[in-house]
Structure 1
Amino acid sequence: MNMVDSAQPFKTLLGPESDSQRTQYPYVTGTSVVGVKYKDGILMASDMGASYGSTLRYKSVERMKPIGKHSLLGASGEISDFQEILHYLDELILYDNMWDDGNSLGPKEVHSYLTRVMYNRRNKFNPFWNSLVLGGVKNGQKYLGTVSMIGVHFEDSHVATGFGNHLARPILREEWNENMSYEDGVKLLEKCMRVLLYRDRSAVNKIQIAKITEEGVTISRPYALKTFWEFNAFKNPTVGAEGSW
């Protein structure tokens, strides 16, 4: 009769936890997030779509969340990985609050933490399949940064993930300025989201815009952009391409 060796690590039906691999093939994903600095703080925009493969399956998924007292996080990519990152951040903020020393983590510290988490998971060949935008205001200092799924990170006055990095940032380079008002900042983000709606098949016309200032985070109710679909290129998109794929 064979006896189980008690020195061997316990294995579940799915194998040991060390062999567990997650999101090597992302399933439910969200598209672009766009963030800008403005006169009083940070503005961020995303739509509420989530694609199941290539199918736009979910249309009420929030992808921007407040983090602690001073930060706002937006994410594109795998939704379940974003939820796991939020759990990490909940533990981080709770641990920081337990010190009860009158201090709290600012956006720069949270962004630094996220870069370490993303790079650590990348080194294990088990990445969180997300691109993140982290913005915030602390002691009058505005901060806006981004980090990719492999840990590439930087700080800038305007950032975008996904297709927004190709389609929205040229608009921001032309029209953004740091002293713009809240109203002008919202108009600029709406213009970026409208272009993404026209050109990104994973985008939906249901967006949210969030702002963070010294007073805290405000996330708008979902709303639809005004669109115009009478351009000739939209009426006959294959003109001049007959016979091609």
Structure 2
Amino acid sequence: MSKQRTTQPITTGTSVIGLVYDGGVMIAADTLLSYGSMAKSFNTPRLYNIEDRILLGASGEYSDLQEIVAKVKALALQETTNSMESIYVDRKLPAKSLWNYLRAVMYQKRSKMNPYWNDVVVAGWDDQADKPFLGTVDKLGTTLQENLVATGFGGYLAMPLLREKWRSDLSEGEARALLEDAMKVLFYRDCRASARIQLAKCTSDGCIVSEPYELDHSNGWNAPSMIRAAGDLDGDGGW
């Protein structure tokens, strides 16, 4: 029997963006899945909370993301089971270790010419360094650890806004507002994006993923840059 390979993504999700703020890390993604150019599902989460310690999100092929999440949960369960075998060990899977694990998995899959068609964001709290962790792994196994990350069109449309507004001392509220502004930009400019989003955060107390909710974009299309009178070709209000 001949082997089959995924040669292109079919059912996909778009950008995942994230940032480190003062006291934690926060990521955001919308809940739209697209089947080619058709909107297939409007309420499919792409952010996952692994053992209340790690946040995982990804853009790209959704079926591959489901397989990645299954691998990650199995790995986390194995770590927990091993730690329970000894009363002297309290070992849980750190976010940075998962990030390195996914680097190896993605590189192995692409080396076999059967890659996972995803760009993955991993976030969590680094207990050893006592600071948040944020990193990405792409379909080739290339990794990046930074204070600001974005996958998909977010790298082109949202990243400039994040770089302009980000500060290392951002509060949690400011971080949420900045991510929501970036998600609005993606909704307006990326035809595969939706205004229905999720936010997730991770601090030293653990990780939380919000329920999906709608961004307030009621006045977005009334912005001056979106309005031009009929026949006003140069935008100055004249003819």
Q: Does 1:131 align with 2:123?
A: no
Q: Which residue is 1:34 aligned to?
A: 17
CA contact (8 A) 2:54 2:124 kept: yes
* CA-based RMSD: 1.9
> Displacement, 1:172?
1.2
Aligned partners of 1:73 and 1:130: how far apart in 2? 12
SS in 2 for 1:212: strand
Q: Which residue is 1:12 aligned to?
A: none
SS in 2 for 1:162: coil
Aligned partners of 1:234 and 1:98: how far apart in 2? 56
Q: Which residue is 1:105 aligned to?
A: 93
> Displacement, 1:25?
2.2
CA contact (8 A) 1:64 1:73 kept: yes
Q: Does 1:205 align with 2:195?
A: yes
4+ runs deviating over 6 angstroms: none
> Displacement, 1:20?
3.2
> Displacement, 1:70?
2.2
SS in 2 for 1:99: helix
CA contact (8 A) 2:196 2:214 kept: yes
Aligned partners of 1:67 and 1:94: how far apart in 2? 10
Please, which runs of 5 or more residues in structure 2 have no aligned partner?
84-88, 234-239
Aligned partners of 2:8 and 2:208: how far apart in 1? 33
SS in 2 for 1:201: coil
Distance change >3 Å, CA 216–CA 165, structure 1 → 2: same
**Structure with larger Rg:** 1
Equivalent residues, number: 224
Q: Does 1:193 align with 2:183?
A: yes
Q: Which residue is 1:58 aligned to?
A: 41
Q: Which residue is 1:96 aligned to?
A: 79
SS in 1 for 2:195: coil
CA contact (8 A) 1:48 1:207 kept: yes
Q: Which residue is 2:86 aligned to?
A: none
> Displacement, 1:69?
4.1
Q: Which residue is 2:68 aligned to?
A: 85
TM superposition score normalised by structure 2: 0.88
Q: Which residue is 2:58 aligned to?
A: 75
CA contact (8 A) 1:42 1:213 kept: yes
Aligned partners of 2:206 and 2:107: how far apart in 1? 29
SS in 1 for 2:212: coil
TM superposition score normalised by structure 1: 0.86
Please, which runs of 5 or more residues in structure 1 have no aligned partner?
1-14, 241-245
CA contact (8 A) 1:70 1:138 kept: no
